[in-house]
Structure 1
Amino acid sequence: MASKDKESRLAQMSYWEEQLNQQLARLAENGISSEKIAKDTEVKKIRAKMRETRNRLAVIEEKEKKLAEMAKAKAEKAAKPKEPKKKKKQAEEEQTESKRQQKKKKKKEKKNKA
């Protein structure tokens, strides 16, 4: 989506800044006091849009930073030499018998003796 793109958000930010400047100029031209300008609904709406866009830009920058860190970690992991995996037979020999297996073995030995 374009709205998740940094460039489009920067363009939106400049658009809202321009809109705010135009609205402030229009209100100042009509001779409205600065207190009333601050309370103007259109000015409030534009400032809210700017705040929203600024927040989205911050999130986008954090996401880019995280992606860069992950890419760096991935490159470091790829640069490390890989450890060879153990073969199954080797792993089975090293593995000790479980208690259940030991009980079965004892039971068989008892049965064979009798």
Structure 2
Amino acid sequence: MASKDKQVRLDQKSYLEEKLNQRLTVLAGKGLLPERIAKDVTVRKIRAKMRETEGRLKVIAELEKKTEEKARIKVEKMALPKKEKKKKEAEKVPVDSKRQKKKEKKSKENKKEG
């Protein structure tokens, strides 16, 4: 029962509901009281599996909702016009690297000496 498919989980849920109804009719046919029926081990196991399946269906529904939301956001982003990137001011005025500054300083010193 570890399937992640929604349809499989829905089929499992309907199967478990049918199985539970059969078990309840059998126990009611035997003349058991509702308190005893509620404590029946098989009934409790079936109800536990139903709760597990319903919980998994809720998770699947949440995942589908998130997927739809992501798709909607993606479509909205694609519809928006692209913004042009502004060139940085640093690109207009080239900045000398540390090595270049040192080289220029050395060449100025050589000119003064010579």
TM-score, length of structure 1 as denominator length: 0.81
| Root-mean-square deviation over aligned CA pairs | 2.3
Counterpart in the other structure of 1:56: 56
Aligned-pair CA distance for 1:63: 0.6
Unpaired segments of 5 or more residues in structure 1? none
Structure 2 residue identity aligned to 1:25: T
Counterpart in the other structure of 2:107: 112
Aligned-pair CA distance for 1:93: 2.1
Distance 1:79 1:94 in 2: 32
Aligned-pair CA distance for 1:97: 3.1
Aligned-pair CA distance for 1:84: 3.9
Distance 1:70 1:95 in 2: 42
Aligned-pair CA distance for 1:70: 0.6
- Is residue 2:73 matched to residue 1:78? no
CA shift in 2, pair 1:45/1:94, >3 Å: farther
Counterpart in the other structure of 2:34: 34
TM-score, length of structure 2 as denominator length: 0.81
How many residues matched?
107
What percent identity do the matched residue pairs reach? 57
Structure 2 counterparts to residues 67-106 of structure 1, below 5 A: 67-84=67-84, 93-94=91-92, 97=95, 101=97, 103-106=98-101
